[in-house]
Amino acid sequence: MDVLVACMGNLLRGDDGFGVAVADVLEDRDLPETIDVAEVGISGVSMAQELLDEYDAFVLVDAMEKGEEPGTVSVKRASVPDVDQYSDREVASFAADMHQTDPAKVLVLGEALGVLPEIVVLIGCEPTKTDELSDELSAPIKEAVPRAADQVEQVIEELLSS
């Protein structure tokens, strides 16, 4: 099974750099050859370009605000929103800048382009701050990065064994 692990984030927006930090940790791990880890920044276009390689599963790692305790890592099988509920203009705008965007919009973009695999897993971390100009992760997010990388490996293991 070919799996894309796309790690989103902006290194200059504090905890929004979470996904990038997870990608850095995963680079040092011994992942199977069928797993591609990509740091896709904040652009939906970068993510969509990575998905053009036709993967069997997609794991999206990002800072995701859900109202939980900062540093909380969540893993969830995603359901793809109905593309028809968005105008072509809205879908096109999702490609421009994904900072502080609902991960559902990333999925809508991938679905609209016909590149989103059937299996999609979201791994998120509750941030403390993403609005300030800073290249530092907060303490709870720094502590969450290796836990999130462990979760990515667990998801990969489950996908490859199914």
Q: Where are the domains of the chain?
A: 3-161
Which of 48, 50, 109, 107 has its CA nearest to residue 79?
107
Q: Which two tokens stand for residue 36?
A: 């591609």
In the prediction, which pLDDT does 20 show?
Answer: 95
The CATH class of 3-161 is: alpha beta
| pLDDT tier for residue 101 given thresholds of 50, 70 and 90 | low
- Write the single-letter amino acid at 33: E
Q: How far, in Å, are 13, 122, 143 from residue 93 at the CA level? A: 21, 21, 33
To 5 degrees, how large is the angle CA 23–CA 124–CA 62? 45
- Write the single-letter amino acid at 81: P
The 10s digit of each residue's pLDDT in 126-159 is: 999 767 787 899 999 999 999 999 999 999 999 9
